[in-house]
Chains A and B, each alone.
Chain A
């Protein structure tokens, strides 16, 4: 059984009558030790999905539907107390902007030891020692000194490392990383991805990676789910997805990556329009208004997830793309290559 099994998750914002569905029936599984990517552009519902799983959405004005079973228990119906015991110890989250995600007026040391005290009962010297060990583990030099410092005294990469140290402090079984490298510069991005990969390999932690960066996906994820307008439109393992993207959106995402080996002067190939140019899933395919392959068939109700080609490669499209994308230099096995290469390759 999967460690995390998300089934038809819906998240609806707003008061009755003026509701908007940010997540519209998303299903995916994360197995023990697996790295699963949730990919899509801004506004596709990927961050909301992660917040819903962690129970971090506000109580008011939010309606949750579907199931999200973690180790057999539905996260969406858990009491606050159960969730509190679970967060930080069983599942932990790494956020996007490391500076704003750290409390500016509390030393790093306390921000690490407080979670050790909460879930592992460590206090005083023992907690400090373990915190120093954790900082060392995530590659922060001179941890004893850093423990006494405040977030503003650390560099961006160091802050993200500190947040990762907090997230892995209690050896959680599932780590959710919401665009953990977006706020960092490229070389630091590579280091952070390397670190995450290392932690996942060594500890056997499952990782749910939320990102818009296909380079990150290529370097890290085993399984990839592409989200569009709150629904999974394509789901496949990494190699399959990069070799044969079948949904026009996924296809377009891969084609829009600028290539270093492209002929001089060749224009970039963006996906036209924005996520605001969409129709409701109930009427047809939400991507249809931006799609180069669209036919009248696309406007006859929500397309179903099917497996038109390979087993385990699901696509929500009536006219799946059959031509492969040329990605010459993208090496799907190596995080360091993709992290600088991801956007340029």
Chain B
């Protein structure tokens, strides 16, 4: 187990190195650059050259890359050309909001999706099956920003149940410990802040959950249908076991294996792709920051972010493998 973890973490190094080379070559080919983004359309060539010199962009790519590697070795991601702040600080300021939102969305997707997929499969052809299959199709197809605006329009603007933007109401004085607003309130005992944060979280989380929920419902359904037809389920039934044992121990345990892989990949995509949801609800996560970084050709931020996401994917895959080896003895590592 430990050897697997260490091996995977070591694998991160070549992965990230390869990715960084690709990134540098690619960014170098992009038209425009931070200088024209900073100075605007009417920048003189001299000004552009001055800024490029200041940012080190006048150097050949391999020199830039070498400098980048040296900085990385000192755990320095560089400075944002937009804000002038260290990239690392920008991330730690914004990433907790995205993490919180993604986790909340994933909890909704799993807690609702797995039972729904299971029931749909067991009542195949019934109204619940038809509703969840077509509902999940809608969930996949509906544009996220559109769903966000509908939900906000109904539940915050019309009905006024949930706040319509932000992470905390202005009157709330919350102490930040982890950056996760819901958790901070519990840690510091400021339960009103936790409650407020949860209320702010619900609509964005539902919005963000729509796609993973749809995927999980469909995968669970397909997987349960497959497992139910397996010989070992027939064996379990022939033993006269109670239905709850057949369902839990024999059907679900096997059916969830592919779903766990999907949950891992979906979590990765949520962390990197919550841009639209965050924008509509002005949630202040990393997504909207990255969007402006793309406009501004903020290379250090982009490189740092992409490397960061790559790292998260590798780590999530590692977690998925560990979870897999817990429930599937055939892939267990010793």
Q: Tell me whether A88 is interfacial, beta carbon within 8 Å.
A: yes
Residue in A84, A85, A97, A110 whose Cβ sees the most chain B Cβ within 10 Å: A84
Interface residues of A, dominant DSSP: mixed
Q: Is the pair B239, A166 in contact by a Cβ cutoff of 8 Å?
A: yes
- The answer for the CA separation of A105 and B233 in the assembled complex, in Å, is 12
Cβ contacts B236-269/A at 8 Å (1 or 0 each): 1111111001000110011001000000000000
Q: Of B234, B235, B257, B329, which is within 8 A of A152 by CB?
A: B329
A155 within 8 A of B: no
Q: Is the CB of B238 within 8 A of A92?
A: yes
Q: Is the C-beta of B45 less than 8 angstroms from some C-beta in chain A?
A: no
Which A residues between 55 and 94 are near B, CB-CB below 8 angstroms?
Answer: 56, 83-89, 92-93
Is the CB of A54 closer than 8 A to any CB of chain B? yes
Nearest CB on A from B311, distance (A): 30
Contact between A95 and B239, CB atoms less than 8 A apart: no
Report yes or no: B240 in contact with A89, Cβ–Cβ below 8 A.
yes
Closest B residue to A107 by beta carbon equals B329
- For residue B146, CB closer than 8 A to chain A, the reply is no
Q: Are A106 and B253 in contact (CB under 8 A)?
A: yes
Asked if B330 lies at the interface with its beta carbon under 8 angstroms from chain A, I say yes
Do most interface residues of chain B lie in helix, strand or loop, or is the interface mixed? helix
By a CB distance below 8 angstroms, the chain A residues around B157 are none
Known: A84-B242, A86-B240, A87-B239. A104 touches B330 (CB 8 A): yes
Q: Which of B232, B239, B254, B330 contacts A92 (CB 8 A)?
A: B239
Q: Using a CB-CB cutoff of 8 Å, which residues 133-170 of chain A contact chain B? A: 150, 152-153, 163, 166
Tell me whether B330 and A150 are in contact (CB under 8 A).
yes
Nearest CB of A to B254, in Å: 6
Say yes or no: A88-B238 contact (C-beta < 8 A), given A104-B254, A105-B328, A114-B245. Answer: yes
From A83, A100, A153, name the one whose CB has the most chain B CB atoms within 10 angstroms.
A100
- Which of the four size classes fits the interface of chain B? 20 to 34
- Do A56 and B239 touch (CB < 8 A)? no
Q: Say how far B129's CB is from chain A's closest CB, in angstroms.
A: 14
Q: Can you list 24 A-B pairs, Cβ within 8 angstroms, ordered by A?
A: A83-B240, A84-B241, A85-B240, A87-B239, A87-B240, A88-B238, A88-B239, A88-B240, A92-B239, A100-B231, A100-B232, A101-B231, A101-B235, A102-B235, A103-B232, A103-B236, A104-B328, A105-B329, A110-B249, A115-B241, A118-B239, A118-B240, A152-B329, A166-B235
Query: Smallest CB–CB gap between A52 and chain B, Å?
Result: 13
Cβ-defined contact, A87 with B232, below 8 A: no
Is B232 a contact of A101 with CB atoms below 8 Å? yes
| Whole-angstrom CA separation of A76 from B238 in the bound complex | 15
**B328 surroundings in chain A (CB, below 8 A):** 104-105
List residues of chain B with CB under 8 Å of any chain A CB: 230-232, 234-242, 245, 249-250, 253-254, 257, 327-330
Q: How many residues of A contact B (CB 8 A)?
A: 31
Q: Which residues of A contact B253 (CB under 8 A)?
A: 103, 105-106
Which of A84, A102, A115 contacts B232, CB < 8 Å? A102
State whether the Cβ of A197 lies closer than 8 Å to any Cβ in chain B: no
Of B239, B254, B328, most A-chain CB atoms within 10 Å: B239
Cα distance A119–B241 in the bound complex, in angstroms: 9
Query: Which residues of B are found within 8 Å of A88, using beta-carbon distances?
Result: 238-241
- Closest CB of chain B to A124's CB: distance in Å? 16
Question: Nearest Cβ distance between residue A82 and chain B, in whole angstroms?
Answer: 10
Question: Is there an interface contact between A97 and B231, defined as CB atoms closer than 8 Å?
Answer: yes
Alpha-carbon distance A54/B237, docked complex (angstroms): 9
Question: What CA separation (Å) do A118 and B239 show in the bound complex?
Answer: 9
Which residues on A sit within 8 Å (CB–CB) of B249? 103, 106, 110, 114
How many angstroms between the C-alpha atoms of A104 and B327 in the bound complex? 10
Across-interface contacts of B240 in A (CB, < 8 A): 83-89, 115, 118-119
A116-142 CB mask vs B (1 if < 8 Å, else 0) is 001100000000000000000000000
Q: Which residues of A contact B250 (CB under 8 A)?
A: 103, 106
**A177 CB to nearest B CB, Å:** 12
A152 lies within 8 A of B330 (CB): yes
Q: Separation in Å of the B224 CB from the closest CB of chain A? A: 15
Q: Output the nearest chain B residue to A169 by Cβ-Cβ distance.
A: B239
Residue among B232, B238, B241 making CB contact with A56, cutoff 8 Å? B238
Q: How far is the CA of A201 from the CA of B270 in the complex (A)?
A: 63
Chain B residue nearest to A80 in the complex (CB): B243
Q: Say whether A115 contacts B239, CB under 8 Å.
A: yes
Shortest CB distance B249–A (Å): 6
Contact at A118–B329, with CB atoms within 8 Å?
Answer: no
Q: Which residues of A contact B230 (CB under 8 A)?
A: 100
CA distance A83 to B242 in the complex (A): 11
Residue of B nearest to A88 (CB): B240
Q: Which residues of B contact A100 (CB under 8 A)?
A: 230-232
Complex formed: what's the CA distance from A102 to B330 in Å? 13
- B235 contacts A95, CB within 8 Å? yes
Question: Cβ of B237: which chain A residues have Cβ within 8 Å of it?
Answer: 56, 87
Q: A105-B328, A114-B241, A118-B239 are in contact. List 13 more A-B contacts (CB 8 A).
A: A84-B242, A85-B240, A87-B240, A88-B239, A89-B240, A92-B238, A100-B230, A101-B231, A103-B232, A103-B235, A103-B250, A104-B328, A105-B329
Give bound CA distance, A15 to B328, whole Å. Answer: 39
A105 to B237, CA, bound (A): 17
Q: Which residues of A contact B329 (CB under 8 A)?
A: 104-105, 107, 150, 152-153
Contact A105/B238 with A100-B232, A114-B245 known, Cβ cut-off 8 Å: no
